[in-house]
């Protein structure tokens, strides 16, 4: 038996550089892992096949469409093993939230199954990362054991970042409605070349500040997500959640990924608690107070 936590992420920065012929977009993003997580359990069984049990989350998550199931199918195919496993997914991260919950579950499935079947070594790791990239653009980030990474390409070309300073608290607000990533990218109007160039310079500055000692006031002004332009005008709940975070006193508030979660970073625990409490009083919101970790 094996248990694994699948932590969620936020994007502290996300600029879309260009549309690609394959329908995807080239990004420049900064992934930050957070404490909020799903939990997965893996057990070998005597019954051939892959059994997936999902606890919690919205209905319809169980079955062959689940990315955990797909990850497991690929795992057994690529490593030429006969499946006889039960996977239990305990879902706590909201779905359609821009928090990478499904992607993290998929990465956890690959890591968990590799552990359960004693698959290790550099060559195996390479194959696992390749499976990960095939499952989704955010999955490779969760294969790294790191709190912070810069992503390029679809988000799968990664550079691990280290830091020395203290990371802030983070208040996540899921405004109660999901947003579908595909629709967001389809609706997005790219920034002008100059605008994109200026944003990429901001990312460089942000990375520099992080390297020098973590998040500070200056870092907050550099947080950016191009996808907000395609979401905020079309999902009033997301726009309102962001406005409310500022109204409740947040210094910074940003949408994560393609939404619908918005988050605020706080250096001060008391301030984070206050924000989380104020946001929790709004009916329909799911609020999580956690840390980048």
Q: Does 104 bind ligand C5P (CB under 6 A)?
A: no
- Residue 24 in contact with ligand C5P, rule: CB under 6 A: yes
Extract long-range pairs of 143-147: CB within 8 Å, 24+ residues apart: 143/107, 143/110, 143/111, 146/33, 147/32, 147/33, 147/292, 147/293
Among 162, 54, 53, 42, which residue's Cα sits nearest to residue 111? Answer: 42
Smallest separation, CB 70 to ligand C5P (Å): 11
- As measured in angstroms, the least distance from the Cβ of 139 to ligand C5P is 8
Tell me: does residue 25 bind ligand C5P (CB under 6 A): yes
Binding to ligand C5P by residue 182, rule CB under 6 A? yes
Confirm if 17 and 203 have CB atoms less than 8 A apart. Answer: no
Interface with ligand C5P includes 154 (CB under 6 A)? yes
Stretch that binds ligand C5P, among 19-27, 35-43, 165-173, 245-253 (CB under 6 A): 19-27
Contact 121, 65 (CB under 8 A): no
Is residue 270 annotated as a catalytic residue, yes or no? no
Q: What is the closest distance, in whole angstroms, from the C-beta atom of residue 213 to ligand C5P in the complex?
A: 30
Angle at 286 between CA 285 and CA 289, to 5 degrees: 125
Cβ proximity to ligand C5P, 27 vs 289, nearer residue = 27
Select 163 or 185, whichever has its Cβ closest to ligand C5P. Answer: 185
Q: What is the smallest separation between the CB atom of 182 and ligand C5P, expressed in angstroms? A: 4
Tell which residue, 43, 40, 45, has the closest CA to residue 101. Answer: 40
Site map (CB under 6 A) of ligand C5P, residues 120-149, x = contact: ----------------xxx-----------
- If one asks whether residue 229 binds ligand C5P (CB under 6 A), the answer comes out as no
How would DSSP label each residue in 204-272? HHHHHHHHHHS--HHHHHH-EETTHHHHTTT-HHHHHHHHHHHHTT-S--EE-TTSS-EEEEESSHHHH
Contact 102, 136 (CB under 8 A): yes
Q: In the complex, which residue's CB is closest to ligand C5P?
A: 137
Catalytic: which of 70, 91, 105, 138?
138
Shortest CA distance to 214 belongs to which of 165, 168, 251?
A: 165
Q: Contacting ligand C5P (CB under 6 A), which of 185, 190, 229, 234?
A: 185
Number of amino acids touching ligand C5P (CB under 6 A): 12
**Residue nearer to ligand C5P on the CB measure, 25 or 271:** 25
Tell me, yes or no, if 189 is annotated catalytic. Answer: no
Per DSSP, the three-state class of 157 is strand
Among 112, 155, 175, 257, binds ligand C5P (CB under 6 A): 155
Nearest-10 crossing angle of helices 122-135, 101-116: 150
Tell me which residues touch ligand C5P (CB under 6 A).
Answer: 23-25, 27, 136-138, 154-155, 181-182, 185
Mind telling me the catalytic residues?
9, 138
């Amino acid at each position: 038996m094996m248990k694994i936590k699948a932590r969620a992420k936020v994007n502290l920065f996300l600029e879309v550089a260009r549309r690609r012929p394959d329908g995807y977009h080239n990004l420049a993003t900064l992934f930050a892992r957070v404490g909020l997580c799903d939990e997965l359990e893996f057990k070998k069984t005597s019954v051939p096949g892959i059994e997936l049990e999902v606890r919690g989350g919205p209905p319809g998550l169980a079955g062959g469409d689940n990315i955990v199931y797909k990850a497991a199918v690929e795992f057994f195919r690529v490593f030429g093993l006969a499946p006889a496993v039960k996977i239990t997914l305990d879902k706590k991260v909201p779905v359609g939230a821009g928090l990478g919950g499904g992607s993290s579950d998929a990465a956890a499935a690959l890591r968990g199954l590799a552990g359960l079947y004693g698959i290790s070594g550099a060559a195996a790791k390479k194959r696992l990362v390749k499976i990960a990239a095939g499952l989704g653009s955010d999955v490779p980030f969760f294969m790294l054991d790191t709190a912070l990474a810069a992503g390029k390409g679809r988000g799968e070309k990664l550079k691990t970042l280290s830091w020395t300073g203290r990371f802030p608290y983070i208040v996540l607000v899921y405004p109660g409605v999901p947003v579908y990533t595909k629709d967001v990218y389809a609706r997005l109007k790219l920034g002008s070349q100059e605008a994109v160039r200026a944003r990429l310079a901001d990312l460089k500055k942000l990375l520099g500040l992080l390297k020098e000692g973590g998040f500070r006031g200056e870092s907050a002004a550099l947080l950016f997500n191009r996808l907000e332009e395609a979401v905020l005008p079309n999902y009033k709940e997301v726009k309102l959640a962001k406005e409310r975070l500022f109204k409740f006193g947040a210094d910074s508030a940003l949408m994560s990924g393609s939404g619908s979660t918005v988050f605020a970073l706080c250096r001060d625990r008391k301030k984070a608690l206050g924000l989380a409490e104020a946001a929790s009083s709004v009916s329909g919101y799911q609020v999580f107070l956690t840390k980048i970790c």
